[in-house]
């Protein structure tokens, strides 16, 4: 923390809700020498007062007469609420992701801390000593109220809440305090809302608490990470290990190194639902390291959040596990950041600032000289490009622990299979047979539905043909209203064919299947199976999600069906069959990452099979069995896929060849949106020729969302911060209609 000079008299403060600007304030006499960057202060702003953070010494000092300045009103805590590396991270976040500084700061500082909340202490009472019979008789006569409290407390097994008890018995605080002074009653302070997910750790029975002996590959990976940790300088390291190769053991080894050297670590997981499982495992394996392990994610209450935050800031909790926002944990001496399943799109925040947890992790590691370990069975092309450029180190785990077999993938060509299933075209004969076999053997199955698919694409059920854009290597979207096929990346449009351009079949149509329909079909064809569904509906309800997983573990469910979330890190030893119902659906979304996503999903989902002693089988239903990602996944050929896909990206100039900034324009009036999007892009190209390569504007794939029409333009660049700064400057000059809102998404993942 850069302490300010003691003789300065003006500081810059960033007020919350102040529009993201820093303002200069004078320091009143009483606070001279006490103000440090990062502190929480109260300042006047306009007609009201605001809380804000001291951002630094004023650049204008000496030039401004301090009498004309407003003064800081109050210093909330002596200790800064934000460390220097987090302040720098916040500034970078705002400039890189084109966000106002205060929204970046709000992202990094939980509301409970920003609002200056202190920990609420709940006072509890219990009996401190038993009274002799004569003592008690005296008390009854002299102080009946105290006697009543004594009687009540002597019947309690656990400590009771002080204020409710006193109110309930109509006893004054003074009587109670007298009893405390006399040593008859004890008062204990307990923080409210402190225990986090305690009950969810019940699942820990499935996790080995003792450390397994690392195999050769694991040891080699841990050695190189340890070496980087010992260098004490920033490093990013990709841990590329097949599913079930024991990546988590490598992370644990690295974290043990860090903790035993007195450092702190952050462990990011892609999904809130996965935190309890991971925390349970880490707590057990790191129980001897003398630190609290805290959980951090968006579902915490304000009290839980404040408690965890303080524990981290004070250095009591040196390991935090959480979803993307845990990257802003205020831990001192940060040495290591683990990003598990680094390829997961859920690391990208969906609202401003649209930051990517993995990329922020790498940047924060660079600020503190820490090691960022990015792990995945299917790393993103972005991270692999960084490895190839020599920026990241890499370790590979090519085999499963104890040389367990990789699951075998069997591809089912649905063009043929639908001919053999009477009545329904959702489940093929071989998949139904395989499910029945598992029932007989008392083994479990997972059915996976690929919901990233887009129902409005056109597909031929006879030959699997999907019309694509001649300019963009993505599928065209079918517009029923005017019978056209359009590209939502470049604006290309053509009439929708009445018969399949591939085989001439007249049966071409839009396509899509829901989890509900799958469940109905399943109950019809295998009525004796116990089936449960996990999708967005169940995901929203925290307890239901946990109960379903817990029941599945206990064997109370035969077939678990669900979407993407089943692909993430869950470990079920008795699952020997995984069925992928519609593997190719995600192939045809208008997104240049469609192949990558499909390949990742297949490999990750397949990885859920055969994690116990028995070998696993994976059945993949598809209309396009020869599509590259499906073929590569079948052969478990990651390198082949990577080579192929990287070629495609480079050929089109897509990420990771360059960065993509997506600029979205939306409004209720479609013509206005189009008009301003086009006008702006023309203005940008005139004013800053060559700053970025522009594609579009064109309607977004999701053209209308909540009654708003949406257009987008894509900007490609090698230098994000320079481009973003210039575009923001120009954007100030260009006046939009009030009914048109625009926003920029740097390194966009969601292209809908």
Decide if residue 204 touches ligand ADP (CB under 6 A): no
Rounded to the nearest whole angstrom, what is the least distance from the CB of residue 219 to ligand ADP in the complex?
9
Count how many Cα atoms sit within 13 Å of the Cα of residue 606 in the half-sphere of its side chain.
Answer: 28
Decide if residue 476 touches Zn ion (CB under 5 A): no
Q: Which of 338, 360, 325 is nearest to 92 (CA)?
A: 360
Distance CA 214, CA 527 (A): 44
Cα angle for residues 591, 595, 599 (degrees, 5° grid): 135
Rounded to the nearest whole angstrom, what is the least distance from the CB of residue 688 to Zn ion in the complex?
24
DSSP-derived 3-state class of residue 374 = strand
Q: Which one, 487 or 518, has the nearer CB to Zn ion?
A: 487
Residue pointed to by tokens 């180190």: 393
Q: Which of residues 700-739 bind Zn ion (CB under 5 A)?
A: none
Cα angle for residues 742, 746, 750 (degrees, 5° grid): 80
Q: Binding mask 492-531 vs ligand ADP (x if CB under 6 A, - otherwise)?
A: ----------------------------------------
- Of ligand ADP, Zn ion, none, which one sits near residue 130, judging by CB under 5 to 8 A according to partner kind? none
Decide if residue 246 touches ligand ADP (CB under 6 A): yes
DSSP state of 212: P
Beta bridge partners of 712: 664, 698
Window contacting ligand ADP (CB under 6 A); options: 4-12, 236-244, 436-444, 515-523: 236-244
Decide if residue 743 touches ligand ADP (CB under 6 A): no
Q: Is 58 exposed, middle or buried (0-12, 13-18, 19+ CB in 10 A)?
A: buried
* Length reported for the chain: 752
The order of strands in the sheet holding 319-322 is 293-296, 319-322, 264-268, 334-340, 371-376, 235-241, 392-397
Taking CB under 5 A as the criterion, the residue among 462, 551, 637, 670 binding Zn ion is 462
Distance CA 746, CA 719 (A): 11
Q: Binding mask 382-401 vs ligand ADP (x if CB under 6 A, - otherwise)?
A: -------------------x
Decide if residue 247 touches ligand ADP (CB under 6 A): yes
Rounded to the nearest whole angstrom, what is the least distance from the CB of residue 698 to Zn ion in the complex?
8
Decide if residue 315 touches Zn ion (CB under 5 A): no
Window contacting Zn ion (CB under 5 A); options: 164-172, 414-422, 484-492, 518-526: 484-492
Rounded to the nearest whole angstrom, what is the least distance from the CB of residue 432 to Zn ion in the complex?
26
Rounded to the nearest whole angstrom, what is the least distance from the CB of residue 377 to ligand ADP in the complex?
7
**Are the C-beta atoms of residues 228 and 315 closer than 8 Å to each other?**
no
Rounded to the nearest whole angstrom, what is the least distance from the CB of residue 54 to ligand ADP in the complex?
43
Decide if residue 497 touches Zn ion (CB under 5 A): no
Window contacting Zn ion (CB under 5 A); options: 126-134, 174-182, 296-304, 503-511: 503-511
Q: Which one, 257 or 340, has the nearer CB to ligand ADP?
A: 340
- For 220-224, the CB contacts below 8 A with 24+ separation are 220/395, 221/250, 221/395, 221/396, 221/397, 222/250, 222/253, 222/254, 224/393, 224/395
Q: Which one, 214 or 560, has the nearer CB to ligand ADP?
A: 214
481-495 burial, b for 16+ CB within 10 Å, e for fewer?
A: eeeebbbbbbbeeee
- The two tokens of residue 142 are 């002299």
Size of the site for Zn ion (CB under 5 A): 15
- Of Zn ion, ligand ADP, none, which one sits near residue 463, judging by CB under 5 to 8 A according to partner kind? Zn ion
**Are the C-beta atoms of residues 450 and 580 closer than 8 Å to each other?**
yes
User: What radius of gyration do the chain's Cα atoms show?
Assistant: 30
Rounded to the nearest whole angstrom, what is the least distance from the CB of residue 696 to Zn ion in the complex?
10
DSSP-derived 3-state class of residue 395 = strand
Strands 264-268 and 319-322, by their bridges, are parallel
- Of Zn ion, ligand ADP, none, which one sits near residue 402, judging by CB under 5 to 8 A according to partner kind? ligand ADP
Cα angle for residues 256, 358, 377 (degrees, 5° grid): 75
Q: Which one, 572 or 623, has the nearer CB to ligand ADP?
A: 572
Rounded to the nearest whole angstrom, what is the least distance from the CB of residue 426 to Zn ion in the complex?
20
Decide if residue 215 touches ligand ADP (CB under 6 A): yes
Decide if residue 107 touches ligand ADP (CB under 6 A): no
Distance CA 504, CA 415 (A): 15
Strands 185-191 and 48-57, by their bridges, are unpaired
Decide if residue 502 touches Zn ion (CB under 5 A): yes
- Of ligand ADP, Zn ion, none, which one sits near residue 500, judging by CB under 5 to 8 A according to partner kind? Zn ion
- Of Zn ion, ligand ADP, none, which one sits near residue 468, judging by CB under 5 to 8 A according to partner kind? none
Distance CA 626, CA 642 (A): 17
Rounded to the nearest whole angstrom, what is the least distance from the CB of residue 82 to ligand ADP in the complex?
33
Rounded to the nearest whole angstrom, what is the least distance from the CB of residue 247 to ligand ADP in the complex?
4
Rounded to the nearest whole angstrom, what is the least distance from the CB of residue 423 to ligand ADP in the complex?
39
- Of ligand ADP, Zn ion, none, which one sits near residue 487, judging by CB under 5 to 8 A according to partner kind? Zn ion
Q: Which of residues 505-544 bind Zn ion (CB under 5 A)?
A: 505
Decide if residue 402 touches ligand ADP (CB under 6 A): yes
Question: Please, what sign has the CA dihedral across residues 498, 501, 505, 509?
Answer: negative
Taking CB under 5 A as the criterion, the residue among 463, 567, 583, 700 binding Zn ion is 463
Q: Which of residues 243-282 bind Zn ion (CB under 5 A)?
A: none
Q: Which one, 279 or 308, has the nearer CB to ligand ADP?
A: 279
446-458 burial, b for 16+ CB within 10 Å, e for fewer?
A: bbbbbbbbbebbb
Taking CB under 6 A as the criterion, the residue among 243, 264, 277, 600 binding ligand ADP is 243
Decide if residue 458 touches Zn ion (CB under 5 A): no
Q: Which one, 153 or 463, has the nearer CB to Zn ion?
A: 463
What helix, strand, coil percent values describe the chain, rounded to 5?
40, 25, 40
DSSP-derived 3-state class of residue 57 = strand
Taking CB under 5 A as the criterion, the residue among 492, 530, 542, 672 binding Zn ion is 492
Q: Which of 742, 743, 752, 737 is nearest to 671 (CA)?
A: 737
Window contacting ligand ADP (CB under 6 A); options: 68-76, 148-156, 242-250, 673-681: 242-250
Decide if residue 469 touches Zn ion (CB under 5 A): yes
Q: Which one, 396 or 479, has the nearer CB to Zn ion?
A: 479
The H or E element spanning position 317 is: none
Distance CA 319, CA 266 (A): 6
Decide if residue 553 touches ligand ADP (CB under 6 A): no
Q: Residue 63 to residues 11, 32, 60, 91: CA-CA distances in angstroms?
A: 13, 19, 6, 25
Strands 334-340 and 319-322, by their bridges, are unpaired
Beta bridge partners of 190: 122
**Are the C-beta atoms of residues 132 and 158 closer than 8 Å to each other?**
no
How many other β-carbons are positioned within 10 Å of the β-carbon of residue 65? Answer: 8
- Of Zn ion, ligand ADP, none, which one sits near residue 248, judging by CB under 5 to 8 A according to partner kind? ligand ADP
Rounded to the nearest whole angstrom, what is the least distance from the CB of residue 658 to Zn ion in the complex?
18
Distance CA 720, CA 283 (A): 39
Decide if residue 322 touches ligand ADP (CB under 6 A): no
User: Contact positions toward Zn ion, by CB under 5 A?
Assistant: 460, 462-463, 465, 469, 471-472, 487, 489-490, 492, 500, 502-503, 505
User: Contact positions toward ligand ADP, by CB under 6 A?
Assistant: 208, 212-215, 218, 241, 243-249, 401-402, 571
């Amino acid at each position: 923390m850069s302490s300010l000079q003691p003789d300065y008299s003006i500081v810059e403060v960033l007020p919350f809700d102040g529009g993201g600007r820093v303002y200069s304030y004078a320091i009143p006499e009483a606070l001279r020498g006490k103000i440090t960057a990062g502190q929480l202060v109260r300042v006047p702003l306009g007609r009201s007062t605001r809380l804000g953070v001291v951002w630094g010494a004023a650049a204008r000092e000496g030039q401004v007469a301090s009498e004309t300045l407003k003064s800081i009103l109050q210093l909330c805590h002596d200790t800064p609420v934000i460390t220097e590396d987090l302040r720098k991270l916040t500034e970078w976040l705002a400039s890189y992701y084109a966000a106002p500084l205060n929204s970046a700061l709000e992202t990094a500082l939980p509301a409970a801390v920003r609002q200056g909340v202190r920990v609420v202490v709940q006072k509890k009472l219990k009996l401190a000593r038993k009274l002799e019979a004569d003592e008690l008789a005296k008390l009854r006569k002299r102080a009946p109220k105290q006697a009543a409290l004594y009687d009540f407390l002597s019947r309690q097994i656990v400590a009771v809440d002080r204020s409710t008890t006193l109110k309930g018995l109509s006893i004054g605080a003074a009587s109670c305090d007298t009893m405390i002074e006399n040593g008859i009653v004890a008062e204990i302070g307990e923080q409210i809302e402190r225990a986090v997910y305690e009950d969810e750790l019940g699942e820990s029975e499935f996790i080995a608490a003792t450390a397994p002996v690392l195999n050769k590959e694991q040891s080699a990976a841990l050695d190189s990470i340890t070496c980087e940790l010992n260098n004490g300088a920033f490093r990013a390291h990709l841990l590329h290990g097949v599913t079930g190769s024991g990546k988590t053991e490598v992370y644990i080894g690295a974290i043990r190194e860090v903790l035993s050297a007195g450092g702190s670590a952050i462990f990011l997981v892609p999904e809130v639902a996965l935190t309890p499982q991971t925390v349970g495992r880490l707590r057990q394996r790191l129980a001897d390291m003398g630190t609290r392990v805290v959980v951090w994610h968006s579902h915490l209450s304000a009290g839980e959040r404040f408690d965890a935050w303080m524990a981290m800031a004070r250095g009591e909790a040196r390991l935090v596990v959480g979803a993307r926002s845990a990257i802003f944990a205020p831990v001192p001496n940060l040495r290591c950041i683990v990003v598990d399943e680094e390829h997961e799109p859920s690391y990208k925040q969906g609202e401003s600032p649209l930051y990517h947890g993995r990329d922020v992790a790498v940047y924060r590691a660079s600020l503190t000289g820490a090691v960022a370990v990015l792990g995945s069975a299917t790393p993103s092309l972005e991270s692999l490009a960084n490895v190839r450029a020599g920026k990241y180190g890499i370790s590979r785990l090519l085999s499963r622990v104890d040389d367990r077999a990789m699951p075998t993938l069997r591809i089912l060509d649905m063009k043929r299979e639908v001919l053999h299933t009477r009545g329904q075209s959702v489940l093929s004969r071989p998949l139904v047979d395989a499910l029945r076999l598992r029932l007989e053997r008392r083994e479990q199955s997972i059915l996976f539905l690929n919901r990233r698919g887009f129902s409005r694409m056109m597909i031929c059920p006879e030959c699997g043909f999907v019309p694509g854009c001649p300019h963009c290597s993505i599928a065209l979207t079918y517009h029923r209203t005017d019978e056209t096929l359009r590209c939502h990346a470049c604006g290309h449009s053509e009439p929708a064919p009445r018969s399949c351009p591939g085989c001439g079949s007249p049966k071409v149509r839009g396509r899509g299947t829901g989890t509900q329909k799958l469940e109905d079909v399943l109950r019809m064809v295998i009525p004796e199976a116990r089936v449960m569904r996990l999708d967005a509906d169940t995901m929203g309800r925290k307890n239901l999600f946990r109960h379903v997983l817990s029941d599945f573990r206990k064997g109370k469910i035969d077939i678990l069906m669900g979407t993407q979330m089943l692909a993430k890190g869950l470990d079920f030893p008795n699952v020997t069959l995984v069925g992928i119902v519609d593997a190719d659906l995600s192939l045809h979304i208008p997104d240049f990452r469609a192949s990558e996503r499909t390949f990742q999903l297949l490999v990750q989902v397949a990885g859920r099979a055969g994690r116990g002693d028995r070998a696993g089988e994976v059945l993949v239903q598809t209309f396009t069995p020869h599509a590259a990602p499906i073929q590569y996944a079948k052969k478990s050929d990651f390198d082949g896929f990577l080579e192929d896909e990287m070629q495609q990206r480079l050929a089109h100039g897509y990420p990771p060849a360059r960065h993509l900034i997506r600029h979205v324009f939306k409004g209720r009036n479609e013509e206005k949106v189009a008009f301003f999007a086009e006008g702006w892009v023309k203005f940008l190209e005139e004013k800053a020729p060559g700053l970025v390569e522009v594609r579009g504007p064109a309607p977004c794939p999701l053209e209308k969302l909540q009654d708003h029409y949406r257009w987008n333009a894509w900007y490609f660049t090698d230098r994000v911060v320079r481009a973003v700064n210039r575009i923001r400057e120009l954007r100030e000059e260009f006046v939009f209609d009030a009914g048109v809102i625009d926003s920029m998404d740097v390194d966009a993942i969601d292209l809908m």
